[in-house]
Structure 1
Amino acid sequence: MNNSFNTHQQLTVNGEAFHIHSLKELGSKARRLPFSLKILLENLLRHEDGVNVKTEDIQALLDWHPQAKPTIEVAFTPARVVMQDFTGVPAIVDLAAMRDAMERLGGDPAKINPLSPVELVIDHSVQVDGYGNDGAFDLNAKLEYDRNKERYEFLRWGQTAFDNLKVVPPATGIVHQVNLEYLARVVFHKDSHGKKFAYPDTLVGTDSHTTMINGLGVLGWGVGGIEAEAVMLGQPISLLIPQVVGVKLSGRLPEGTTATDLVLTVTEMLRKHGVVGKFVEFYGDGLADLPLADRATIANMAPEYGATCGLFPIDDETINYLRLTNRDEEQLNLVEAYAKHQGLWRNHGDEADYTDYLELKLGDVVPSLAGPKRPQDRIALDQAGDVLRKHLKAFQNERIERREKSDQQQVVIESEGPVTDTDEQFNEASFKGAANVTFQGQEFELTDGACVIAAITSCTNTSNPSVILAAGLVAKKAKQLGINVKPWVKTSLAPGSKVVTDYLQKAGVMDDLNDLGFNLVGYGCTTCIGNSGPLPSEISDAIQKHQLIVSSILSGNRNFEGRIHQDVKMNLLASPPLVVAYAIAGRTDIDVYKEPLTQDKQGNDIYLKDIWPNVKEVSDLVKNTVTKSMFEKNYANVYQGDHRWQQIQVPDGKLYDWNDTSTYIKKASFFDTMTIDPPGIPSIKGARCLAKLGDSVTTDHISPAGAIKTDSPAGLYLQENGVEKTQFNSYGSRRGNHDVMVRGTFANIRLKNLLAPGTEGGVTRTQPGNHLASIYDAAMAYQNQNTPLIILAGKEYGTGSSRDWAAKGSLLLGVKAVIAQSYERIHRSNLIGMGILPLQFKDGESHESLGLTGQEIFSIDGLQDKVTDVTLVAIKDNGETINARVDLRIDTPKEWDYYKHGGILQYVLRNMLHQ
């Protein structure tokens, strides 16, 4: 590697000399940079080779101007890759398929191998089937292994077939918490050619909330599985040197507030300011009193506030946390010495140059919820009753409209003939917003506004002892008053690591949580990812028959439409203690400050204030219960797994022996027709619109992760292949099978395709003829006619999870281009990674303003290498032509290379073939 700036030095720590690239040698220009850009600068210095990283790239970063629009591309080489199993399985499937393609094209399959450490944590596959009893954990674990046997066999094969791949088995914890508590190094060190090297721990992850690790001072963010695979195979990530927004924190959180309230406030503030595509850094003296767990909670939600990352600097609190979580003392010494030498250590009064300066006074934070559809829609708790009643009224009005339309319409799916959509049928009994239910020997009235799911779940909060123990104290006080949760609420506790249950037990509140039904259901993502499991049939039947508008409340980070449960319309994010409180209330449309949550056995009103713990109670409990020995014990044999994992049979061989009858793992089809030479820039002519969509279409809308409906194209496919409904599992668990996933693309039950007004779900109208059909069936019909497809969309297309199947599925449907008003960062990258063209309407324009109905014939004119805009040509049935200039969102030269090769993996594979 080159050393143009003479930064190669040695740093002695623990009596050992480490080779480093010293930022001190770069003077004031480096000192004034934000922490995140200092880490990026060191990365460029260390990888300067004159090809991927040039001298002028490093100089451009040194000359960074905070207000300059990002225009300069640099190559970032992360130290490692982190994956969860929903996104990890298809990534390993792709690598296995690449090995087959390499052999077919005459290359060496062994070249397809991770070059950087890859750590995969199986945390997304556990589903909440059992709940509310002591046997829930064992039942859910058994069902998880039964459902995912093929996937886990495949991962066990991958662990042995690929170098540099480690797999953390099921029932260990959530990937981001395991990363925080165990995997993260903060400062990497390795031996190479007899020398020791030290450098910042950096990473990318195949999950949006990889940013949680930013709370520890580690730079990393979520990417699609496609991009992560390229990183594994030695490709740097191309990014434009970003703008950096500084958020100054001052003061302390007031009594009665939690880290969840803080992060919902930060999310709302930054969404309003606008930080999409930018780095965010937190600084200020308020950090001195902000625990590491609170920092991680804020960093976790970076995708929700739209930033690439939300970084906190390294300081004494970082070292204290590393010590608590049983990191080696020599490692702690290295982290502190290295950070101080490089200017990565937070000192009192530090303030870098930032693009924008924002300030949040922690004393202004108030208790909050977010929802009912998006995490950035914060609701102050003292206003929640009124706000949620308004939302409920809006849903009720929609129900009235659907009822009126149901008398006039029948949904006709062309491939199946005319059918009556029973979900749209109404009668007087189903229109009252209430139903009498008998469940487990109890009779009650289930009404609109009822809370049917209350889940302590997700990486956002389960890494934070203060909010988890606060939930335990709420449960303890509730039991002392003799009150319980309502019988219609499905309750669950899914911690982010085994350490959580250890300190809950030591604190003496685990039994109280169990008594309220918050029994341990698993160590994994569960409800937040859509693995909430089925509601009891009595509850579900009442909701569906009477069209009830019910809600969920969860301590998660995502509450997009259709994500949590198909029966649930309103989904709220809240702190764990509020989750318990609302479960006791049994509904979410109440004013918890003024209205009682419930009554005790004597009929006395019980209010939120009666069960809410104070700050001192919680902080004392945290200090007395969370210990280093807990982390030492639970991570001692982290890769070993339980008896179920150890009993899995491991297939042999460097090439995977594909089972053609498998409905879980199938050889990826993306390389089937690949040739040695790249196809170049395609021509897009005579295209049809598959879907015309509005604003804030998420990757959940495009590629749902949750339950598979029986009558959906994916459900029908599974049944045709002998899979019973009880064994459907979820879309997320079947991401290793492209035949399932392409049928699930645009199949979210809440998707509203404006080409088929009045419908909900994966429905479109084919052109010409205007016939109603499922999106999958329509796409296949278009493919048979060799008709390319486009998607029209509004603002923030592809927000949400870093779900590569949202791009993969679109490709397999035949989509060649998406034209939207704006994109979420990861999804735009994923589209290019699969060879799909991302186009963007000019400012102030949209498919509505241009008068595009979606029934036109579309072409893209002027598409050639490195152009910045092209002409969208739309021809109507009457011959009228609409011409609109649209921006071409291929932002870097490297992205152009990927697009010309038909995708990032094809680009990597061809490079390896030519080496």
Structure 2
Amino acid sequence: MEKANPFESVVKELEVDGQTYKYFSLLALNDERVQKLPFSIRVLLESALRNCDEFNVKSSDIETILNWTESSEKDLEIPFKPARVLLQDFTGVPAVVDLAAMRDAMTRLGGDPEKINPLCPADLVIDHSVQVDVARTSDARERNEELEFQRNQERFSFLKWGQSAFNNFLIVPPGSGIVHQVNLEYLARVVFRGENGVLYPDSVVGTDSHTTMINGLGVVGWGVGGIEAEAVMLGQTISMVLPKVVGFRLTGSVPPETTATDVVLTITQMLRKRGVVGQFVEFFGPGCQSLTLADRATVANMSPEYGATMGYFPIDDQTIDYLKSTGRNSHNVQFIEQYLKSQGLYRVYDGSQPDPNYSGAVMELDLSTVRPCLAGPKRPHDRVELTHMKKDFNSCLQNPVGFKGYAISEDKRASTSKFNFEGQEYELSQGSVVIAAITSCTNTSNPDVMLAAGLLAKNAVAKGLSVKPYIKTSLSPGSGVVTRYFELAGVTDYLNQLGFTLSGYGCMTCIGNSGELHETVSEAITKEDLVVASVLSGNRNFEGRVHPLTRANYLASPPLVVAYALAGTVNIDFETEPIGQDQDGNSVFLRDIWPSRDEVQKVTQSVIKPEMFKEIYDLIAKGTDRWNALDAPQGKLYQWDEKSTYIHDPPFFKGMTKEVQDREPIQNAYVLAYFGDSITTDHISPAGNISKTSPAAKYLISKGVEAKDFNSYGARRGNDEIMARGTFANVRLVNKLVEKPGPKTVHIPSGEVLEIFDASARYIQDAQQLVILAGQEYGSGSSRDWAAKGPFLQGVKAVIAESFERIHRSNLIGMGILPLQFNPGQNGESVGLKGTEQISIELPESYEVGQQVTVTTSTGLNFQTVLRLDTQPEITYYKNGGILPYVLRKLLQ
């Protein structure tokens, strides 16, 4: 049973501007270990101290955290209770669907449905639904938003129902911005003022892996699966392994020609090389002072790309200045600063404050050594210096197929494809740019890189340069603030002239909502099977993500996006080759139009005003006209419509009992698919368009939906029937059971090659269990709950992999799927698995963290694997069949 907090004696008072607050003082513990803890770990310690009840959080947990130097080496678990939950609509819709279904189950099992309610603040930003259907026109935003509402009316109506049905639930309507930028500029509290005037640090878990962007503001937060987020919303603590913290010391300052994007791509490559999966990275050192808050947010945003749980910048003067510059309440800013200083959570760089202890060797980067760069063509940590881009791209053309290769034969490397566009003839070749997008909160939250793009556009127009009309250029910022400061800086017209017209406020191209290319462009690409390129200021460039036809995808700073759009190709050396010709026919080089960092920052300082943030976010709070006019149902229980192809009552709680049932043994299971390394959640649960030949398309057609209205998988995440069919539907998926890439597998009993979903349906019909075999980093990428829910609905009982990405492993357990890991030095091939044998897994009578589990096959193989249930709560979740059945049973009691 819960008890009174035994640490009430450390509660102190703080007076700010005539008001008295209370807080649980870390320093009042009188423990010298506190000052040696990394700042990020101190936040975990404060949460444990404040929430200690000797039931969910025990005194022993606090000792574990205080003893972090030793504890973090032992994979010890601790509980953590975040202050709030952050959702985006792709992952938020299924979360609300699950909550609605849980209310139904609660009612069916005789409980009170009102118990299913967020117990901590939950904010949902609708940002993933808008697509670049229209580009390069003055009315692009209006038309894209109109199409967004047409396509997503059912989803939006459902979310609007949730806004009124659930307490403690805020929705930021479509057309407002990108979740992480809105979080940074508006939603983040930095310090909460709780019940009885108790102050405590803001902390957040979000259903998007780039929740880490808020680490740049000194807020502890990271991405979790939608399943885990729902449990937090329902009052559960997160059980986590106390992480190691890599110290990353920054020195120097960024050179004049370099951007924050170049800094983060450099850091990403360094940290991927070291290996920081499951760890925190904490930045410190004098170089931090030379990075703006927006620069820090850019670096923090890409934590998933370098594999860390967080990329944390402790709060300092820069943080407080940012809060003031974004129009935060002045009294709040005062208590934030004074509280953090009183708690020992405020970083200073005047030599008076010793650096904390960190795990292992401290990493170092002299910012003055960072050079302009891109990342690609298929992964965000494959950095390429700008000066090496042409050489690197041509190497990729001839390299064997892989992350840095396309195996294009010598006779095809010079291939071209002519086409007619709007009455003019053009020609594509290997490396031609067909998509150029200033997109993604990673960069659109950073005024310096955004204004650099605007100033470069201005300089280019002055030289008479232009962008070929068939290149799909777009601008999709993360908030209306960007539009406002572009106007004040006088760069909007120049961006418009180059085709970077405002296409909407949302993620858009960064998550694959790039829309269709013009038909003649698509035909020209496919006719010669060209390796054409997209260049985007996003954070991910996995195969098939941005657009099915752009086989080369490069991450770049916004000014470089404009530069490559002007060049029309990535097969160019900007040092020696001109980007174009001016009005007089003279060569213009990139260096001739590139704005310096100092020039950009002067413009930034002159146009960024606190009033514009307040004005924009006051409008958001009132809702948009379209949102306010939207009809939505009322009532505490949702009335499901079986005809809906967007929102469907999921089967997750059907047949659930009040009491826990023993898990059924896994015997004679077939292998649904046999994968290699780096299978991402994009491969498992695509967020892109629905292929017209896919099982999902066939289902929609059977429901009377025309192909033009298919929308995307992401938009239909509230319908389990479609998402089960969309699981493993990626056209670039490589499955060792079949010869060609694509969403196919062998139905082993018959030997037929089928769509993966169709094979799984046949297995389920024949009451046959399934497993997945995989290599390293299984489930890397975005924190998509459907990457676990989909395999669950396809009958997958276990995944045996060389290693798992943190969030995806958690999601598998959340759905009751068993994650097993090959022992070190082993993989499927080394133990002799072909993928055609039947597999049995010996479930233990008594589960223990990290124990060995025996796997046997119908061909006589026998090998050991590691049970990847890493904490006692994960064991409990698995026994219950998942985290939500566990929560439901707990609330029923």
C-alpha separation between the residues in 2 aligned to 1:509 and 1:233?
46
- Aligned counterpart, 2:788: 807
- Aligned counterpart, 1:222: 223
Determine whether 1:130 maps to 2:137. no
C-alpha separation between the residues in 1 aligned to 2:71 and 2:885?
36
Q: CA deviation at 1:332?
A: 0.7
Determine whether 1:760 maps to 2:741. yes
CA displacement, residues 208-230 of structure 1 (integer Å, 9 cap, x when unaligned): 00000001110010000000000
Residues 244-263 of structure 1 mapped to structure 2, 5 A cutoff:
244-263=245-264
Determine whether 1:466 maps to 2:448. yes
C-alpha separation between the residues in 2 aligned to 1:310 and 1:611?
33
C-alpha separation between the residues in 2 aligned to 1:398 and 1:17?
57
Determine whether 1:170 maps to 2:170. no
Q: CA RMSD in A?
A: 1.8
SS of the equivalent of 2:428 reads strand
C-alpha separation between the residues in 1 aligned to 2:39 and 2:644?
48
- Aligned counterpart, 2:422: 440
Determine whether 1:887 maps to 2:892. no
- Aligned counterpart, 2:377: 372
Q: CA deviation at 1:873?
A: 3.3
Contact 2:281-2:312 within 8 A present in 1 as well: yes
Q: CA deviation at 1:5?
A: 7.4
- Aligned letter for 2:707? K
- Aligned letter for 1:151? R
- Aligned counterpart, 1:381: 386
- Aligned letter for 2:600? V
- Aligned counterpart, 1:33: 37
C-alpha separation between the residues in 1 aligned to 2:408 and 2:274?
40
C-alpha separation between the residues in 2 aligned to 1:663 and 1:619?
48
- Aligned letter for 1:201? D
Determine whether 1:6 maps to 2:17. no
C-alpha separation between the residues in 2 aligned to 1:176 and 1:665?
25
C-alpha separation between the residues in 2 aligned to 1:312 and 1:789?
43
C-alpha separation between the residues in 2 aligned to 1:630 and 1:400?
46
Residues 208-219 of structure 1 mapped to structure 2, 5 A cutoff:
208-219=209-220
Residues 224-303 of structure 1 mapped to structure 2, 5 A cutoff:
224-303=225-304
Contact 1:839-1:886 within 8 A present in 2 as well: yes
Determine whether 1:848 maps to 2:829. yes
- Aligned counterpart, 2:773: 792
Match of 1:646 among 628, 631, 644: 628
Residues 234-633 of structure 1 mapped to structure 2, 5 A cutoff:
234-348=235-349, 349=351, 350-356=354-360, 357-394=362-399, 433-633=415-615
- Aligned letter for 1:17? T
Q: CA deviation at 1:751?
A: 0.3
CA gap 1:560/1:864 in 2 versus in 1, 3 angstroms: farther
CA gap 1:636/1:207 in 2 versus in 1, 3 angstroms: same
Contact 1:67-1:355 within 8 A present in 2 as well: no
- Aligned counterpart, 2:888: 909
Contact 1:668-1:738 within 8 A present in 2 as well: yes
Contact 1:681-1:864 within 8 A present in 2 as well: no
Identical aligned pairs, as a percentage?
55
- Aligned counterpart, 1:114: 118
4+ residue segments displaced more than 4 Å: 395-404
C-alpha separation between the residues in 1 aligned to 2:675 and 2:106?
39
- Aligned letter for 2:381? Q
- Aligned counterpart, 1:75: 79
Q: CA deviation at 1:395?
A: 7.5
- Aligned letter for 1:159? Q
SS of the equivalent of 1:670 reads coil
Contact 1:66-1:355 within 8 A present in 2 as well: no
Match of 2:840 among 854, 859, 874: 859
Q: CA deviation at 1:13?
A: 1.6
Contact 2:65-2:71 within 8 A present in 1 as well: no
C-alpha separation between the residues in 1 aligned to 2:712 and 2:520?
22
Contact 1:680-1:902 within 8 A present in 2 as well: no
TM-score, with length taken from structure 1:
0.95
C-alpha separation between the residues in 2 aligned to 1:601 and 1:872?
73
Q: CA deviation at 1:528?
A: 0.6
- Aligned letter for 1:22? S
Is the deviation greater in 47-56 or in 640-649?
640-649
Match of 1:143 among 141, 147, 157: 147
Q: CA deviation at 1:279?
A: 0.8
C-alpha separation between the residues in 2 aligned to 1:617 and 1:475?
14
C-alpha separation between the residues in 2 aligned to 1:303 and 1:153?
32
Contact 2:396-2:405 within 8 A present in 1 as well: no
- Aligned counterpart, 1:779: 760
Q: CA deviation at 1:872?
A: 4.3
Contact 1:87-1:804 within 8 A present in 2 as well: yes
SS of the equivalent of 2:845 reads coil
C-alpha separation between the residues in 1 aligned to 2:594 and 2:891?
60
Determine whether 1:741 maps to 2:723. yes
- Aligned counterpart, 2:22: 19
CA displacement, residues 497-539 of structure 1 (integer Å, 9 cap, x when unaligned): 0000100011010000000000000000000111000001111
Match of 1:816 among 797, 814, 818: 797
Q: CA deviation at 1:871?
A: 4.0
C-alpha separation between the residues in 1 aligned to 2:399 and 2:271?
27
Is the deviation greater in 8-17 or in 149-158?
8-17
C-alpha separation between the residues in 2 aligned to 1:264 and 1:165?
35
Q: CA deviation at 1:769?
A: 3.3
CA displacement, residues 732-754 of structure 1 (integer Å, 9 cap, x when unaligned): 00000001100000001100101
Contact 1:862-1:870 within 8 A present in 2 as well: no
C-alpha separation between the residues in 2 aligned to 1:401 and 1:832?
36
CA displacement, residues 578-613 of structure 1 (integer Å, 9 cap, x when unaligned): 000000111112212222222334432221111111
SS of the equivalent of 2:861 reads strand
Contact 2:788-2:815 within 8 A present in 1 as well: yes
Is the deviation greater in 594-603 or in 72-81?
594-603
Q: Which runs of 5+ in 2 are unaligned?
A: none
- Aligned counterpart, 1:635: 617
- Aligned letter for 1:75? P
- Aligned letter for 2:540? R
SS of the equivalent of 1:188 reads strand
CA gap 1:106/1:824 in 2 versus in 1, 3 angstroms: same
SS of the equivalent of 1:747 reads coil
TM-score, with length taken from structure 2:
0.97
Q: CA deviation at 1:546?
A: 2.4
Q: CA deviation at 1:363?
A: 0.7
Q: CA deviation at 1:397?
A: 11
Is the deviation greater in 431-440 or in 18-27?
431-440
C-alpha separation between the residues in 2 aligned to 1:569 and 1:73?
42
Q: CA deviation at 1:461?
A: 0.2
C-alpha separation between the residues in 1 aligned to 2:71 and 2:590?
47
CA gap 1:507/1:401 in 2 versus in 1, 3 angstroms: closer
Match of 2:49 among 45, 50, 53: 45
C-alpha separation between the residues in 1 aligned to 2:575 and 2:661?
63
SS of the equivalent of 1:686 reads strand
CA displacement, residues 851-887 of structure 1 (integer Å, 9 cap, x when unaligned): 21100110112433323334443435xxx41111100
